Amino acid sequence: MATPVTVPELRNRKAGHGEVPLVMITAYDAPSARIADTAGVDIILVGDSAASTVHGQPDTLHITMDQMVSHVAAVAGTQPRPLVVADMPWLSYHLDTAETIRNGARFVRAGAQAVKLEGGLARIPMIRALIETEIPVMGHLGLTPQSVNAFGGYKVQGREASVAARIVEEAIALADAGCFAIVLEAVPNSLAGRITSEVPVPTIGIGAGPACDGQVIVFHDLLGLSGRVPKFVRKYADLEKVARDGVARWASDVREGNYPSDGESYGG
Ligand code: KIV
């Protein structure tokens, strides 16, 4: 069995220090976890994007702890080599530190090795509480999708100097609090570069340009299983078409009496 990826080895993976960029992709179930693992990624994020990619909801505010725990268990059950990071859903880490720890622990018991949560200074007490409970934490700044209503939509964050300065301050605070990596979502390239050079832990970008220490993408967006995708997505396959063609060929074989054959049936 291949050696599993660990938090301590990821903590120092700064591309700017000559390391190979980190690769993280979302997965929500056993098949997507197996594909991510055998493709050789470093980190599997069981993202709350499952709300839209899998459950057909309009935003990530609509997924619960119970649903996320079930996704984490399905991914971790494949015993993948990449680090499994569980995304803490909205309201699972906002109320108090005790509730945050309880929810983080549910993810660890389901098989995650770390959790990710969104937000800056307001989240520092929860981040410290998780880390003191031996649960490693990945931060997430910029366009944090759980803030969609507060932001008034999915908009690039940090174009204004004051907002950019706040995000830099938050990234430094997250690293100081002990986050082992920080996702930067939908921020200008220049801001991502500034943060990446100022924090000692890896930044992992999504719509944040090439200056980050790694990249993360949503499985369904990368492989053509989502409808409309953001401009930063490059589609590497059209699985929706491949799957539709397969189902359509099977349906037509059934209708024309070509399926099942004798070899596909039980005799006796
Ligand atoms: O849930 C998710 O897929 C994410 C990524 C966009 C980073 O948080």
Say how many CA atoms lie within 13 Å of 83 toward its Cβ: 24
Structural domains of the chain sorted by starting position, each given as residue range(s) with its CATH number in brackets: 7-237 (3.20.20.60), 239-268 (no CATH)
206 lines ligand 1 (CB under 6 A): yes
Tell whether ligand 1 has an atom less than 6 A from the beta carbon of residue 183. Answer: yes
Residue located nearest, by CA, to atom 8 of ligand 1: 47
From first to last of its 268 residues, the chain has per-residue pLDDT tens of: 689 999 999 999 998 788 899 999 999 999 999 999 999 999 999 999 999 999 999 999 999 999 999 999 999 999 999 999 999 999 999 999 999 999 999 999 999 999 999 999 999 999 999 999 999 999 999 999 999 999 999 999 999 999 999 999 999 999 999 999 999 999 999 999 999 999 999 999 999 999 999 999 999 999 999 988 999 999 999 999 999 999 999 999 999 999 999 999 998 7
Task: Tell me the residue type at 212.
Answer: C
pTM (whole model) above 0.95 = yes
What is residue 192's predicted lDDT score, i.e. its pLDDT? 98
Q: What's the 96 CA to ligand 1 centre distance in angstroms? A: 23
125 alpha carbon to ligand 1 midpoint, in Å?
Answer: 22
Nearest CA to ligand 1 atom 5: 47
Pocket of ligand 1, candidates 88, 157, 183: which has the most ligand atoms within 8 Å of its Cβ, to mutate? 183
CB 112 within 8 A of CB 72: yes
Question: To 5 degrees, how large is the angle CA 64–CA 69–CA 157?
Answer: 55
pLDDT at residue 227 in the model: 85
Catalytic residue, from 9, 132, 134, 185: name it.
Answer: 185
Question: Residue 111 has which token pair?
Answer: 């098989």
169 catalytic? Reply is no
pLDDT at 193: 98
CA of 181 to the centre of ligand 1 (A): 14
User: According to the model, what pLDDT value does residue 16 have?
Assistant: 79
**Would you list the DSSP string of 188-229?**
-HHHHHHHHHH-SS-EEEESS-TTSSEEEE-HHHHTT-SSS-
